[in-house]
Amino acid sequence: MDLRTLCDLQGISGREEPVRRAVYAACVEKLGQERVYLDRMGNVIAEKDGQTPSAPHTMVCAHMDEVGLMVISATEDGLLRVRAIGSMDPRVLVSKRVRVGYEEKEKEKKALNGVIGALAIHQQSLQDRKTVLPIDQLYVDIGAKDKEEAVALAPAGTPVTFATSFAGFGEGLYLAKALDDRVGVYNLLRLLDAECRGRTSFVFTCQEEVGCRGAAGAAFRLQPDAGLVLEGTSANDRGDVPAAEQVCRVGEGVAISFIDNSSLAHPRMFAGMLSLAKEKGIAHQVKQSVSGGNEGGTLQRTGMGVKTCVLSVPCRYIHSPNAVCAAGDVEAQRELAKAFLEQGIDGIE
């Protein structure tokens, strides 16, 4: 399955069904149905035996969900009120096209076209123009003539995703919604072919953007010795941002994280990743800023503790309708994760 297909799929947190179906089918095709299962939370877990039965057990994960919106009500004139699912900057939302509801080809059901609207600038006061409208003052217009039609078409709980289609541009760059974390899902699927040193659980998690809920259940069930998280992370490498304040840089390789707002990488695992990247000639960088959070913190705190490290693809304009990453960084993430799984944590420490 290619990255374009994965990014164009719809799947906000808690409503990952289209992504889950595609991922489950891909895992079954690769490993066989007896090696793949769904847990209670909706994670897809694929198991693979290692070359060395006594080697440590590794859980490697990437999250299927994306940020988006959810319908909560409708106005009398047929506009949809929404709330955010995951963290988003309201400044990136106004006038963006969205899809309301999910495409279901087998049921011949199509998503509705919509646009995120706000009070027209001609009707805004001078003070209005100086402030950013919060999401509870925005709406989604689907062309409904009144509340009754809007509720019939998009009742409360209907998922809303950005309508951006995957595209390439510049020199080896990708533009798409949901690069966080379909880049990780894409690489995790490709890692199913890896010759793993120890038993490996490939976990495609749900609900990361609303608190890493899927990873918590999966890690508790699996109790791994080591955890590797494949993520997309904020780059913050454009504009007038001083170099020292940039998180990481698009096009300079996979970002190896030693600290973020939820986890600390295991020191020997972090050092081992750096050494492995240098040894294999894999483009890499160290994530410079203590920012964001991810499933690394969840894995680290599971059971008696898990040795954990996070490998991220730098993404500009993350959590927006139009994120940007470099093809080379996606490949670097896969190459380093593959090298780690082949050697195992006991092989790099």
Nearest to 206 by CA among 194, 198, 218: 218
Distance of alpha carbon 270 from alpha carbon 334, whole angstroms: 16
| Tens digits of residue pLDDT in 74-91 | 999 999 999 999 999 998
Task: Please check the confidence at residue 284 and state whether its pLDDT lies above 70.
Answer: yes
Place of tokens 């996979």: 254
Nearest to 135 by CA among 117, 155, 154, 115: 117
Neighbouring CB atoms inside 10 A of 61's CB total: 33
Q: Token pair for residue 214?
A: 């899927």
Read off the pLDDT of each residue in 201-225 and give the average, rounded to a whole number: 95
Reported as a pLDDT band with limits 50, 70 and 90, residue 344 is: confident
Regarding beta strands 58-63 and 200-205, do their DSSP bridges make them parallel or antiparallel, or are they unpaired? Answer: parallel
pLDDT score, position 121 = 62
Task: Please check the confidence at residue 120 and state whether its pLDDT lies above 70.
Answer: no
- In contact, 330 and 186? CB cutoff 8 Å: yes
Reported as a pLDDT band with limits 50, 70 and 90, residue 110 is: confident
Task: Please check the confidence at residue 156 and state whether its pLDDT lies above 60.
Answer: yes
Read off the pLDDT of each residue in 34-38 and give the average, rounded to a whole number: 97
Mean pLDDT of the chain: 91
CA 155 distance to own-chain centroid: 26
Q: Which residues contact 67 (CB under 8 A, 6 or more apart)?
A: 12, 13, 84, 85, 86, 87, 88, 180, 209, 319
pLDDT score, position 263 = 80
Active site (annotated) includes residue 208: yes
pLDDT score, position 144 = 96
Distance of alpha carbon 58 from alpha carbon 86, whole angstroms: 28
Task: Please check the confidence at residue 260 and state whether its pLDDT lies above 70.
Answer: yes
Read off the pLDDT of each residue in 49-68 and give the average, rounded to a whole number: 95
Q: Model pTM?
A: 0.94
Reported as a pLDDT band with limits 50, 70 and 90, residue 311 is: very high
Annotated catalytic residue, options 16, 66, 208, 331 = 208
Regarding beta strands 254-257 and 68-74, do their DSSP bridges make them parallel or antiparallel, or are they unpaired? Answer: unpaired
Place of tokens 């297909």: 5
Neighbouring CB atoms inside 10 A of 87's CB total: 11
Query: Helix 179-190 and helix 17-31: axis angle, to 10°?
Result: 10
Q: Which residues contact 259 (CB under 8 A, 6 or more apart)?
A: 265, 290
Q: Token pair for residue 265?
A: 């990488």
Q: 97's torsion region: left (phi>0), alpha (psi -120 to 50) or beta?
A: beta
- In contact, 182 and 164? CB cutoff 8 Å: no
Q: 263's torsion region: left (phi>0), alpha (psi -120 to 50) or beta?
A: beta
End-to-end CA distance of the chain: 33
For 188-197, 240-249, 300-309, which range has the lowest pLDDT when averaged over its residues?
A: 240-249
pLDDT score, position 124 = 65
CA distances (Å), origin 62, targets 57, 65, 102, 200, 207: 17, 9, 22, 14, 11
pLDDT score, position 228 = 96
HSE toward the beta carbon, residue 262, CA cutoff 13 A: 17
pLDDT score, position 277 = 96
Give SS3 for 303: coil
Q: Token pair for residue 117?
A: 């609207």
Q: Kindly report the three-state secondary structure assignment for every residue of 182-200.
A: HHHHHHHHHHHHCCCCCCE
Read off the pLDDT of each residue in 276-296 and give the average, rounded to a whole number: 87
Residue ranges and CATH numbers for the domains of the chain are: 3-66+177-348 (3.40.630.10), 68-162 (2.40.30.40)
pLDDT score, position 107 = 65
For 131-135, 321-325, 338-342, which range has the lowest pLDDT when averaged over its residues?
A: 131-135
Among residues of the chain, what percentage have pLDDT more than 90? 77
Task: Please check the confidence at residue 155 and state whether its pLDDT lies above 90.
Answer: yes
| Tens digits of residue pLDDT in 1-34 | 999 999 999 999 999 999 999 999 999 999 999 9
